[in-house]
Amino acid sequence: MRNRILALAALGVALGAPIAAQPQTGITVGRAPVVVDGGPTIAVEQRPAFRDYVVEQRVPAFRIPDRVVVGATLPESGVTYYDVPQRFGATTYRYTVVNGETVLVEPRSRRIVEVLD
């Protein structure tokens, strides 16, 4: 009886160990993977105050020929990016005004992550 228990325990460890030791690959079978961006955006309830802040700062608007949409990349030169004040939440993004719309931008890639309406 004792040998059976030890054999079952050893079998359980042998079967469980390779699964537990495998690194996570980030691939999920059966569902689309979740994409997480660099940082949180401005909370919905903070957006009206943030829009007022941008107007008060008189941030110059830049014109680009393309549409202003999430995922678009802004030009390498000619656009100035500004830090989002702490009172609107901790974020790694910067903001600017493009074609009359305030946008949050990932600073390294210059990719628009949110258009604030």
What is the spatial distance between Cα 24 and Cα 19, in angstroms, rounded to a whole number?
A: 10
Strand partners, 103: 96, 115
- C-beta separation of 73 from 111 below 8 A: yes
Structure confidence by residue, pLDDT tens digits, 9-34: 565 555 554 444 444 444 434 443 33
- C-beta separation of 106 from 38 below 8 A: yes
Q: Which residue has the tokens 């401005």?
A: 42
What is the pTM assigned to this prediction?
0.64
Ranking 69-73, 84-88, 90-94, 110-114 by mean pLDDT, the lowest is 90-94
Structure confidence by residue, pLDDT tens digits, 35-54: 334 567 888 899 999 999 99
Concatenating the DSSP letter of every residue in 12-60 gives HHHHHHHHHHSPP-S--SSSPPPP--SS----GGGHHHHHHHHHHHTPP
